[in-house]
Every structure is written in C-alpha cells, then in structure tokens.
Amino acid sequence: MNQPKTSMSLQSIFTSSRNIYTLFTYLLNHSVLNVIQLKEITYYQSLFLNYLGDNHKIQFNQSLLNELNKEFLLFLESNYKIQKSLLIDNSSQTDVLNTKKNKVKHFQIIFSKDLKNQTSNSILEYDLFLKNVSLIKCNSFKFKFNLHNISNSNNTFALSENNFKYQIKIPIGYYTYDQLLLQFSEKLNSVSKHNYNYSFQNNSIKNKTNIICKDTNGNSQMFNLYFFNNLNNMIGFSNNEYINNHSYITELDPCINIFDTIYVVIYINNEQLNLYKTSSNEYFTFYININENDYNKLLHFSFTKIIYELKSLNIIKFGIQFFDSFFNTINFNQYHFYLDLEFELSEH
C-alpha cells in the first residue's frame, strides 16, 4: 500500500461519509474496544487516504469499504489480540444510533505525544470524531518530570554598565538555586567590558541573596539589571528593573520550582473547558502539584472530580495547553505524556 498523501486536505471528505462514520462509531463503541489509542483512529484515516488516492470525488461502494474495513480489522486484531472476528455491516444506510433509545456508551481515549500538532499559542491539537457526547471525565495524567525551569521563554536578562548594555541568555536546562546563581554571575562576568567582578552573597538566616559589583581594585561600581519573563522571581527579585546602585538584595523567597503547580486547559472544538479559577482570574481545566525533588521521575496523577456535562455535543477537535506556576505556557511538544479521558456518548 502506498503512503498516505498527507498534503491533501481531505478531512471533510473523511467525516462526511455516512458509511465511514457509522463504521467508525461502531468500532469505538464495540465491547472489545473499550480502550483505544488515538493512533488507531489516525491509522484508519490514513487507510482511507490511501484508497482515495488522487481522486477527490471518490465513489463509495461496497467493494472499497469491504477492503478498507478488512485491513483495519486485521490491524485492530493484531494490536489488541482480539480472539473473535468483528463483523461490520456496510449495507445498511440507516442511522444505527436511532435504533436504540437513551442508551449510554462509554468510550475511553489515551492521548500521548505520538500524535499531535502544536499551534502558535502552544496548544496541542488532535482530531476527534465523536458524536452525541454528553459527558467528559478526566481519569488520569502521567508524564516524566524532566521539564526545564530555564527555557527559551525565561532565559533572557540585560545588564548595563555606564554606556554599555548587554543582553544575556542563560543556557536552557534545569537548575537548582545555587546552580542558577553561579550561571548568572558567570554570564555577567563574561560580558563586562570593564572587567567588573559580579558575585552573589547568600544570607541563609534571612533567606536573602545580595548581588554586588566591584572593579579590579575592589571598589564598588554601579550597574543596572533588567529582567524579563519571571526570571527575577526565580532568583528572588520582585522588580523587573534595578538601576543606579552597586548592589541589590532580593526581596522574595526564590522560586526555582516554576512547576510547583502545572495548570492544564482542555479545548473542545476550540472552546475552553473551565472548571477552576485562580486568584489571577486565570481559568483552567485542572491542575497538578509537583515537588522539585520529583525531577526526572515518572509522575502519575489520578482524578475523581474532573467531570464536564455537555448537551449532546459532536466533538471534532480536541486541544490541550499547559502553564507553569506563573501562567507562562509550557512547550510540551517534545515531552511524552499520557492523558486518560473518558467520553460518555448518548444515543437518542
């Protein structure tokens, strides 16, 4: 079989066929497929695109559907080790959902990073094809905590000495507080045009840190610091600018674990599902609390109260977005995670 022609925009054709959708709904709700991963759905779509080829006005007929269903069922049987055959009736042109009144079906999807597209605003999007969804329940979330607390979004600050101003970038990575201070002072010393010496002094009793600047003769020298995107809060500074002084002392407790709380927002058909509201008037779907000692561990969170009741909604697109404790977006695109969602489908 040839590879799918992914350059063609044929999703509307895929979802518009009654036979395809009836078959699809049957498979999702079949008793032996109570758990199915999104990659199986996409595999079925890729089979369809293969058979479609270059013909945008494909004629759906019994022969094509039988061949398509045969290959897909073989794929499912081999992956799920199904002992009995699944029989699909393509000849019926009636809507099978109308034959059973008020019956509720449960369908579970396990999302992972294997299949997703990232938008410009860090929303990870998936294509779904679920009809008459009356309830969404979030069961669990699992991921390996190897996120970087210094990333492209918060690794930049600026220094000025007299008439010289420098923009400085800290290498991306995960830092402890002492490691971040060391990296900070090394960067300051490396760019100084006057060969000034920058150093941090920690007061463990008051939990304060003082940054000082001296010349080669040991004399104090004035300098200015400019912070962007919460890097100041991580070190313990409350302001974004510090000017016209030879030393600055932190006002806050340092916040190295910017993932102390990770906020998660779920989008259904591009609409945000809101369950919680923060003191900053930020809305989100659910959150998880993380200890910095859990770094590089596989974390698993289970939920019991994250439930959304809907009014028979047809779901075509699903999206998810992540935020750190400062409500900065987290780029989850390169990280592996699992989100276990359960959908309740009503038949009318």
What whole-number distance in Å separates Cα of residue 127 and Cα of residue 317? 5
To which residue do tokens 């030393």 refer? Answer: 247
Confidence of residue 21 (pLDDT cuts 50, 70, 90): very low
Which has the minimum average pLDDT: 1-10, 160-169, 275-284, 293-302?
1-10
Neighbours of 213 (CB within 10 A): 24
Which pLDDT value is given to residue 123? 85
Query: Which tokens go with 239?
Result: 């302001």
Residue 177 DSSP SS3: helix
Average pLDDT over residues 49-77: 58
Predicted TM-score (pTM) of the model is: 0.63
Which pLDDT value is given to residue 113? 55
Average pLDDT over residues 176-181: 91
To which residue do tokens 């060391």 refer? Answer: 182
What whole-number distance in Å separates Cα of residue 17 and Cα of residue 19? 5
**Amino acid residing at 235:** I
With 80 as the cut, is the pLDDT of residue 89 above it? no
Residue 266 DSSP SS3: strand
CB 235 within 8 A of CB 179: no
CB 213 within 8 A of CB 220: yes
Average pLDDT over residues 123-127: 81
Which pLDDT value is given to residue 132? 83
Which pLDDT value is given to residue 215? 93
What whole-number distance in Å separates Cα of residue 167 and Cα of residue 101? 66
CATH assignment, 100-147+259-348 = 2.60.120
Q: What is the DSSP letter of 150?
A: B
**Amino acid residing at 156:** T
Which pLDDT value is given to residue 86? 36
Smallest CA-to-CA distance from 268 within 305, 220, 318, 311 is with 318
Which pLDDT value is given to residue 242? 95
